[in-house]
Chains A and B, each alone.
Chain A
Amino acid sequence: MELTHRFTVPTGVEETWAHFEDIASVAECFPGAAVTSVEGDTFTGTVKVKLGPIALVYNGSGTFVEKDEEAHRFLVDAKGKDKRGNGTAGAKVMLTMNDNSGSTDVEVLTDLAITGKPAQFGRGVMQDVSDKLLGQFVSCLEARLTGPVTSDAEPAVGMTPEPPVAATAAVSTSPDGALATPPPTAPAPTRPVAAAPPADKPRPEDDSLDLGATVLPILARAYWKPVAGVVGVLALLIWWFAARD
């Protein structure tokens, strides 16, 4: 499945290009994505795809296969496996930037392959879902490139993700707000990572309050029960900070 998206940003090519040095930031633009580790040009992470009745979690990795500074083009090859063995998702994303008298025309060409159950589901639903998610991905890229990082993308209480964690964080794409859920894996301490999925629509309510109303109960029912205590404390802290805004 080949999908093409285009947009233009008001900044010059060199500056725009510089934004994409960091593969993690590219990956995190994908709705429902959370990067768990980065090593050179490779990242690992998860993508939680939630659309209507379908909820799938893909675990995988991606690599900068090509990074051409001259041509201002890079190619990311990402592959993931569904957590429940429902199939795989693979995306080859080729992003090309062209100078357009001080602005930059960006073209995103994605070759998407989804195998297994979701692709069998019927009526090409996965094609529509993928198109929608890619659209959100591109919008996020566009937003990142257009201006300073917006409040949408900021961690809720200034808790910045620290370098590589063994844990996996899954962020869902619900229409209402960013939800951070603690990860299920064993050794590392958990860390709620509040990263908002790029949104096309303005949220009905103020983010911080929204986060407070929704994050607390979500965090409270931790996937990984032993961490509940720690998370509970952290959640209270978040709520307290948020309520103070």
Chain B
Amino acid sequence: MIPTQFDYVAPTSIQDALAALAEHGDDAKIIAGGQSLLPVLRMRLNAPEMVIHLGKIDSLRAARDDGDAIVIGAMTTHHDVLHDPLVNEHAALIAKAVEHLADAQIRHRGTFGGALAHADPAGDLGAPTLALGAEFVIAGSGGTRTVTAEDYFVDLFETAIGEDEILTEIRVPKHTGWGVHYEKFVRVVHQWPIVAVAAAVKSNGSTISEAKIGLTNMGNTPVRARGTEAGLAGAELTEDGVRAACDRAAEGTNPPSDLNGDADYRRHLATVITRRAVLKAAHV
């Protein structure tokens, strides 16, 4: 399908991008990798007059070491995130989630920040960044500000990014050496997860000392399975040892109902998938 006509600008700096955004405001849409926006434009479910492409802003790309955290530029493609040595060493949970995100073609164009700005609760990046306690750096005309993951994911397709702001980078606290796994439940490989679980587990091999669990598609935003996290502290690393805690995974969630499953089914799935994710994260 053909989108409506739009103007296009590709600023080369964040300042220029912010200026363009300020100038066109409501009539503009930012495009990163386009993997979320282009289908919407093609289906004419939106008709911005101006599309601001961030692709020429080099400073938004790549990951860097920042002491106790790594920082991933918003325009880093999923493919680059997946293969980045810093991500794989210090925030491997993200790599695990990106590994099965959509398909290879999409991973080469789609961006880390773009997906996070889109904030689809069924997107694969919300759960791992929430679980790892990431911080989101947002630039606006008044300067930059940092928002915690809890505050960043506001609602369905809604983040803390203001109308005139741009997500520039994401700070992920290092979780070096943690056992990680992203378990994705789908019917066909290329679909959004029906339910997915991001699990980061610290253990001594037989007992869990700490667990961080993020749930995908269990609400309007990614969700921390806090009940499970609490229950896993000190739990024995066996199927039976973690079962009770994982059975709490759906606590406080409000999953959607759709053609792939209703809310009750998803709540049940969350418990099973969480258990599998936790055990796989700890290499059991």
Contacts and interface: CB of A to CB of B under 8 A. Distances in A.
Contact of A123 (B36, B43, B258): B258
Contact of A175 (B24, B122, B154, B257): B154
Interface of A: 51-56, 84, 86, 117-118, 121, 123-124, 127-129, 132, 172, 174-176, 179, 181, 201, 214, 217-218, 221
B156 A129 contact: yes
B158 interface: yes
15 contacts: A51-B158, A52-B157, A53-B36, A53-B45, A117-B45, A123-B192, A123-B258, A124-B257, A129-B156, A132-B156, A175-B160, A176-B162, A176-B163, A181-B26, A221-B25
Contact of B256 (A86, A127, A179): A127
Contacts of A128: 156, 220, 256
Given A118-B45, A176-B163, A54 B40 contact: yes
B154 to A, nearest CB: 6
A128 B120 CA distance: 12
Query: Which secondary structure dominates chain B's binding surface?
Result: loop
B97 to A, nearest CB: 19
A245 B212 CA distance: 46
Interface residues of B, number: 37
Given A127-B256, A176-B163, A218-B26, A84 B47 contact: yes
Contacts of A124: 256-259
Contact of A52 (B43, B119, B164): B119
Given A52-B118, A54-B157, 11 more contacts: A53-B118, A56-B46, A124-B258, A127-B257, A128-B220, A132-B155, A132-B156, A132-B220, A172-B26, A181-B26, A214-B163
A132 B27 CA distance: 24
Nearest to A132: B156
B37 A53 contact: yes
Nearest to B117: A52
A121 B45 contact: yes
Interface in B15-67: 22-27, 29, 36-37, 40, 43-48
A51 B120 CA distance: 11
Given A123-B192, A128-B156, A217-B25, A53 B259 contact: no
Contacts of A51: 156-158
A217 B22 contact: yes
A86 B29 contact: no
A53 B46 contact: yes
A117 B44 CA distance: 9
Interface in B143-160: 154-158, 160
A43 B126 CA distance: 41
Interface string B110-121: 000000001110
Contacts of A132: 155-156, 220
